[in-house]
């Protein structure tokens, strides 16, 4: 409801279960516990279905039965962020102040500045927060800090920003400790579980690249003595397709999952090793199964898996929680010429494999 001063979220959103009447409009009431519909929605969005429209209305919500002393917790209007916060607050009462981040999670939105100082100040005002609570604290998730100038919020409103923990799961302990976070709560991790959740997203993101590579591989497979032969293309195509998708799997699934145990600090190194291991395993199985590949084709397959997986894993830098811009730039300067050379050489060898 742009334009109107008090913009309350709509009451007809599916997760709203009631309303609190105030002189400044009705504040929607939401339960802490997630419903089946909430969970199904979250599952779908992890596979990329409707990701950009998985939103809630920005503004103030009442979780449970908050009063003027209840804490105010700030979140983003990406429903997954909103739900991650909700489900940790079972048995508690709180105000949830949702910023308009255009359906993007807190950390990414903070990086862009949509989860930011101006938006927070605007929402504090448009939600009439001063009227709703008697204290002066807004709890902002720590990962929102890259977008929020805490001292400036204090200057521009009567509210003080207290940075909450990185993970919503630590919120109960943080609140119970009088809004104090332990050093552990302030650290971002990148656990096996975090990485596993990201694998489908990453694999789907790069699926198109693998499909194009597979198609190119199939087309090139027909080249050989007598210039082009469809029969030869069809005969060699399965290996080309398998190679493209094995590289994808090695780079976007195996390497992310095995990240801490793969050697090197650069993601491209870790990916190259994952590609080499996958190639060794795949070619080993193929030879046991009695598949005879020419030396040139063998080298092409192995080389492409190393280069392709290296590139795939390098793209995982953006998904990780600990890479810096200048670090990734350095990594790319080193790795990309090698990846490109590897892919070109692999292509040449694959074509040569039509003869030898």
Partner 1 sequence: MPELRYLEDVVTLEFDVEKCTGCQFCTWVCPHGVFAMDGNRAKVVDRGACMECGACQINCAFDAIHVQRGTGCAAAIIASWFNGGKVSCGPTGDADSEGACGETPKGSGCC
Site for partner 1 in 129-188 (CB under 8 A): 141-152, 163-169, 171, 181, 183, 186-188
What tokens does 270 get? 């870790």
- Quote the least distance from Cβ 139 to partner 1, whole Å: 9
What tokens does 275 get? 């590609």
Stretch that binds partner 1, among 28-36, 74-82, 126-134, 291-299 (CB under 8 A): 74-82
- Taking the C-alpha atoms of residue 284 and residue 293, their distance in angstroms, rounded to an integer, is 11
Q: Which of 98, 89, 90 is nearest to 57 (CA)?
A: 98
- Quote the least distance from Cβ 217 to partner 1, whole Å: 22
Stretch that binds partner 1, among 4-12, 23-31, 198-206, 347-355 (CB under 8 A): 198-206
- Quote the least distance from Cβ 38 to partner 1, whole Å: 15
- Quote the least distance from Cβ 297 to partner 1, whole Å: 30
Q: Is 322 in the site for partner 1 (CB under 8 A)?
A: yes
Q: Which of 240, 234, 236, 253 is nearest to 211 (CA)?
A: 240
Q: Is 332 in the site for partner 1 (CB under 8 A)?
A: yes
The size of the interface with partner 1 (CB under 8 A), counted in residues, is 83
Q: Which residues contact 287 (CB under 8 A, 6 or more apart)?
A: 293
- Quote the least distance from Cβ 151 to partner 1, whole Å: 4
Footprint on residues 260-319 left by partner 1 (CB under 8 A): 260-261, 265-267, 314-315, 317-319
Residue 59 backbone phi and psi in degrees, to 5:
125, -165
Interacting residue with partner 1 among 6, 194, 286, 352 (CB under 8 A): 194
- Quote the least distance from Cβ 59 to partner 1, whole Å: 17
Interacting residue with partner 1 among 124, 214, 259, 300 (CB under 8 A): 259
- Judge contact between 7 and 126, C-beta under 8 A: yes
Binding letters toward partner 1, positions 79-118, x by CB under 8 A: -xx--xx----------------x-xxxxx-xxxxx--x-
Kindly compute the dihedral angle of the four CA atoms of residues 206, 203, 146, 328, in this order, to the nearest 10 degrees: -60
Q: Which of 120, 204, 105, 196 is nearest to 155 (CA)?
A: 120
What tokens does 107 get? 């950390």
Residue 182 backbone phi and psi in degrees, to 5:
-75, 160
What tokens does 213 get? 């590579």
Tokens 């209305």 found at? 57
Stretch that binds partner 1, among 19-27, 78-86, 212-220, 296-304 (CB under 8 A): 78-86
């Amino acid at each position: 409801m742009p334009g109107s001063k008090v913009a309350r979220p709509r009451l007809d959103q599916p997760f709203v279960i009631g309303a609190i009447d105030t002189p400044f409009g009705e504040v929607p009431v939401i339960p802490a516990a997630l419903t089946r519909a909430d969970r199904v929605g979250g599952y779908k969005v992890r596979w990329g279905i409707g990701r950009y429209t998985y939103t809630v209305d920005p503004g103030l919500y009442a979780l449970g039965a908050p009063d003027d002393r209840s804490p105010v917790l700030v979140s983003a209007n990406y429903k997954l962020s909103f739900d991650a916060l909700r489900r940790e607050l079972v048995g508690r009462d709180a105000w949830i102040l949702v910023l308009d981040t255009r359906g993007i999670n807190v950390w990414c939105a903070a990086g862009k500045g949509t989860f930011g100082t101006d938006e927070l100040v605007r929402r504090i005002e448009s939600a009439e927060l001063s009227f709703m609570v008697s204290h002066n604290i807004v709890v902002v998730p720590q990962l929102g800090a890259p977008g929020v100038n805490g001292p400036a919020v204090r200057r521009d409103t009567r509210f003080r920003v207290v940075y909450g923990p990185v993970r919503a799961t630590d919120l109960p302990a943080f609140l119970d400790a009088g809004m104090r976070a332990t050093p552990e709560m302030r650290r971002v991790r990148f656990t096996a579980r975090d990485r596993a959740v990201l694998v489908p997203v990453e694999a789907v993101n790069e699926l198109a690249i693998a499909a194009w590579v597979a198609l190119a591989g199939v087309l090139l497979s027909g080249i050989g003595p007598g210039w082009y032969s469809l029969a030869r293309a069809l005969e060699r195509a399965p290996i080309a397709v398998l190679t493209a998708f094995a590289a994808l799997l090695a780079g976007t699934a195996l390497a992310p999952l095995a990240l801490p145990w793969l050697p090197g600090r650069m993601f491209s190194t870790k990916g190259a090793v994952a590609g080499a291991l996958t190639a060794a395993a795949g070619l080993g199985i193929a030879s046991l199964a009695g598949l005879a590949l020419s030396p040139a084709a063998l080298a092409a397959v192995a080389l492409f898996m190393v280069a392709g997986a290296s590139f795939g894993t390098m793209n995982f830098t953006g998904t990780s929680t600990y890479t810096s811009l200048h670090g990734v730039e350095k990594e790319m300067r080193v790795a990309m010429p090698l990846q490109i050379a590897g892919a070109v050489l692999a292509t040449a060898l694959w074509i040569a494999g039509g003869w030898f």
